[in-house]
Amino acid sequence: MARRKLTLIFIGVFCLIMVVPFILGAGKAQSAPKLDLDTPEIAALDVKECIEPVEYMRSSHMTLLDQWRNDVVREGKTAYVSSTGQVYEMSLDDTCLSCHSNPDQFCESCHAYSNVDLYCWECHGLTDDGVVGEG
């Protein structure tokens, strides 16, 4: 029966669509990229501590950076007081990247993994060898 065949084709297509992620996912690395904290700058630090707790930085670094950008560009503020009372300069280049001098790995690997567009470098120039400066 032609009609019954159409039904089976319909179910077949449906099942195929449903298993596509599993086929594509089969045998794929399931763990998130490991972040490399082993930079000479970090190694030189006495207290190996970011400006805010790691959990917060993982989920919310983008809002922090966004806030910094607005404060610096629009309000002319430059000092950031962290939750522990420490004062840092609000600067991607001079604060963040001074320790995380490996943005190719540290930033890009996660952003690629979760497919989030990373557009910091549109303004903050980044050369091939990872040295910060005018692009």
**Residue with structure tokens 């950008």?**
69
The dihedrals phi and psi of 126, each to the nearest 5 degrees, come to -135, 120
The dihedrals phi and psi of 97, each to the nearest 5 degrees, come to -75, -10
| Contact region with another protein (CB under 8 A), list: 16-24, 40-48, 88-96, 126-134 | 16-24
Find the shortest distance in angstroms from Cβ 10 to another protein. Answer: 6
For another protein, which residue of 29, 73, 79, 123 counts as binding (CB under 8 A)?
29
**Quick check: helix, strand or coil at residue 81?**
strand
Find the shortest distance in angstroms from Cβ 128 to another protein. Answer: 22
| 30 and 22 Cβ atoms separated by less than 8 Å | no
| Contact region with another protein (CB under 8 A), list: 53-61, 74-82, 92-100, 123-131 | 53-61
Binding string to another protein for residues 96 to 115, with x set by CB under 8 A, is what?
A: --------------x-xxxx
Q: How far apart are the C-alpha atoms of 68 and 25, rounded to whole Å?
A: 38
CB neighbours of 135 closer than 8 A, spacing ≥ 6?
121, 125, 126, 127
Find the shortest distance in angstroms from Cβ 29 to another protein. Answer: 7
- Enumerate binding residues for another protein (CB under 8 A): 1, 3-4, 6-8, 10-11, 14-15, 18, 21-22, 24-33, 55, 58-60, 62-63, 65-66, 110, 112-117
